[in-house]
A and B are shown apart, each in its own frame.
Chain A
């Protein structure tokens, strides 16, 4: 118990320190990249609960992401008209203490809405398997986008950032989120995932993944578990959405379409379906690498991304870590594998040498 408490305090201290460092030393352009990476970690790791642990193919994560973003943004803007009015000064700024509390409320609010959506989507969908489930989740994602595109009070397809209530100054989405909160949330999701994985529930999820019919036959309430995974995943996606809304302070429905869902799935697959650390690393890599390519090769950025994706599937479809987590054993395993590979190559070379030598002998011999 004490150890756990110490770990938590240590984590928070490290995050706070990094937060201070980053806010003061780094350009806002780069800060937004780092924050985006963190947000995608949350999205990908939470999706991993469904796609990775439970083996259900969901293609709709971005829909929950969007619901969370819009719900949270609506709360902090429309809420300022009445409830939160006195939390803000006239120029729209607020104290770090109040801002943090508000952000926390917004995150929970966004997560809650997304979780409700998760129930609505999950209940009917989880009767389906495989491809059909993917299609239905994709369909729900697109429906969510269309609905968001039509809500005028939330900017519709033109995007939501500022409201103009009668008689008051315009109110924009407040920039409440920062490195600390994003990465704290990411850490929470990772820790929760890992705890689940090594628990009885994790075994249940993975049993469903391996063979759902057998799991049901063994008495595991598969529907209950599937929905639980789905709703948890949606909740965290909603939290990520709230964080995103308060980072960019401008959200448009098109950012939450199925293409984003596909990107999140790719992050999970890249890291290894079912591997929490792999997924987190996949998310960070796939957010940061394209930004690096933004410079001269901007237009080739996505071509390279697509080509790498295909290559990955052809060469290493299990992803970097497969089902496993990153650990010292994994590194050792990789090194051993490399050693074996080099031995084999050496062996092949040696044999060819010998063969050539004996050929020579045959030629010169009589």
Chain B
């Protein structure tokens, strides 16, 4: 039946508005609380999902740094609180939890993320709200270009690609290379581009390039690997994340591919060996630090970490998380006491930001950290070799070695 002209529009619209408004009231109004008795450092990363060791390691490093700082009196007597949210490794979640950190948790600064894709997703939010963000391990150059509140305390991929290219040519005497990269990750796409540039510049030849996606989930790389095998490369560069690299290596070995694999810092995880089941024996990857280094800073860090957690030896993400947090803590200390006592005010954020930008020769576990004008850190890389269930340090390559 057709109700009257009046009824038919107004009833549903009215009722919709009603429901909506009541939903709104559930959602609540804003209240900005300013905390004067603690400094909140926020963090975001993948605690669950495919690259979960990245987030959990970073958090371990960060918490250790915070606990040490609090034991030494905190920030001029004020306690530091760390707050980390799980973004499940998804860019839209990264964005969402960073909003939460800024709006609800009133953070002074944010540490994260490990992966370049998620860092790039969340950084615009930090930049817009003028909250300093320090990524401990995102290596794609684009991340810090987003704005002057975005920093990183690690090297970037143009350097890392050159490092592996140099190692392949000079140390492994490789003349041809195959590249097998993850087309769904900024990191992998960027890194493979830089590797290819430098490898060909130094006289090598890229005989074949193949890609894989993590989305379709069959986890079967044999079709692409078969094509790679046909080209007989000297080495295969797989600049992906540890989650897939192990499986790729196993399937390659099954197909009869015998040459070594090379990779980047995305390999760095205790789960790499589990996934590889021996297939990565004798393969190499570039990394930020080596856990078996004899430098006193590393030795002390490793000892303290192993005592505090039962995760075993700290990986690069833990060390980088630790360093990044310490850089932030030092910057907050140097920024002094905020005028109105609010550690999350705009003016204090700006002060912290300036201090981070001036970081020079900061003694980190994973190397000395100096933040350049492009807000990146200039640091050497190490090459690690996979042996059994651990890595062995091979050599260090500095920016000057690759002509940067």
Whether the complex brings A and B within 8 Å at their CB atoms is answered yes
Interface residues of A (CB under 8 A from B): 7, 11, 14, 25-30, 32-34, 37, 149, 156-159, 161-162, 164, 170, 172, 187, 190-191, 194, 198, 248-250, 252, 254-255, 276-277, 280-281, 284-285, 288, 292, 325-328
A4 to B213, CA, bound (A): 53
A29 to B9, CA, bound (A): 32
Q: Let me know if B77 is at the binding interface, CB within 8 A.
A: no
Chain B residues with Cβ under 8 A from A326's Cβ?
Answer: 11-12, 15-16
Nearest-neighbour CB distance to chain A for B182, whole angstroms, equals: 9
Is B12 touching A325 in the complex (CB atoms < 8 A)? Answer: yes
- Please indicate which of the listed interface residues B17, B20, B185 has the most CB atoms of chain A within 10 Å of its own CB: B20
Q: When each residue 1-29 of chain B gets 1 if its CB lies under 8 Å from chain A and 0 otherwise, what string results?
A: 01100011101110111011001101111
Is B29 touching A26 in the complex (CB atoms < 8 A)? Answer: yes
Is B16 touching A190 in the complex (CB atoms < 8 A)? Answer: yes
Given A29, A157, A327, which contacts B215 in the complex, CB threshold below 8 Å? A157
Is A277 touching B99 in the complex (CB atoms < 8 A)? Answer: no
Is A252 touching B103 in the complex (CB atoms < 8 A)? Answer: no
The residue on A at minimum CB distance from B7 is A327
Chain A residues with Cβ under 8 A from B229's Cβ?
Answer: none
> Interface-forming stretch among B90-98, B267-275, B287-295?
B90-98
What is the interface residue range for chain B against chain A?
35 or more
Is A37 touching B23 in the complex (CB atoms < 8 A)? Answer: yes
Is B184 touching A158 in the complex (CB atoms < 8 A)? Answer: yes
Given B13, B92, B124, B145, which contacts A190 in the complex, CB threshold below 8 Å? B13
Given A14, A248, A284, which contacts B95 in the complex, CB threshold below 8 Å? A248
At the interface, is chain A mostly helix, strand, loop or mixed? helix
A245 to B146, CA, bound (A): 19
Chain B residues with Cβ under 8 A from A32's Cβ?
Answer: 96, 99
Chain B residues with Cβ under 8 A from A149's Cβ?
Answer: 184, 213, 215
Chain B residues with Cβ under 8 A from A276's Cβ?
Answer: 12
Given B15, B96, B124, which contacts A277 in the complex, CB threshold below 8 Å? B15
Nearest-neighbour CB distance to chain A for B16, whole angstroms, equals: 5
A250 to B19, CA, bound (A): 29
Chain A residues with Cβ under 8 A from B201's Cβ?
Answer: none
Nearest-neighbour CB distance to chain B for A26, whole angstroms, equals: 5
A7 to B10, CA, bound (A): 9
The residue on B at minimum CB distance from A193 is B12
Is B145 touching A252 in the complex (CB atoms < 8 A)? Answer: no
Chain A residues with Cβ under 8 A from B23's Cβ?
Answer: 37, 284-285, 288
Nearest-neighbour CB distance to chain A for B145, whole angstroms, equals: 7
Known pairs A194-B9, A250-B121, A327-B12. 12 more at Cβ < 8 A? A25-B30, A29-B96, A29-B99, A30-B27, A34-B24, A37-B23, A149-B213, A156-B183, A158-B185, A172-B124, A281-B15, A284-B19
Is B124 touching A194 in the complex (CB atoms < 8 A)? Answer: no
Q: Let me know if B117 is at the binding interface, CB within 8 A.
A: yes
**Knowing A187-B13, A277-B16, A326-B11 touch, does A159 contact B91 (C-beta < 8 A)?**
yes
The residue on A at minimum CB distance from B129 is A28
23 contacts between A and B (CB under 8 A): A25-B30, A26-B27, A26-B30, A27-B104, A29-B103, A30-B27, A37-B23, A149-B213, A158-B185, A158-B186, A159-B117, A159-B120, A190-B13, A198-B8, A248-B92, A250-B91, A255-B92, A277-B16, A285-B19, A326-B11, A326-B15, A327-B11, A327-B12
A157 to B181, CA, bound (A): 13
Chain B residues with Cβ under 8 A from A280's Cβ?
Answer: 12, 16
Chain B residues with Cβ under 8 A from A29's Cβ?
Answer: 96, 99-100, 103-104
Given A27, A170, A198, A284, which contacts B145 in the complex, CB threshold below 8 Å? A170
The residue on B at minimum CB distance from A186 is B16
- Please indicate which of the listed interface residues B2, B3, B16, B23 has the most CB atoms of chain A within 10 Å of its own CB: B16
Chain B residues with Cβ under 8 A from A191's Cβ?
Answer: 9, 13
Q: Let me know if B189 is at the binding interface, CB within 8 A.
A: yes
Is A159 touching B183 in the complex (CB atoms < 8 A)? Answer: no
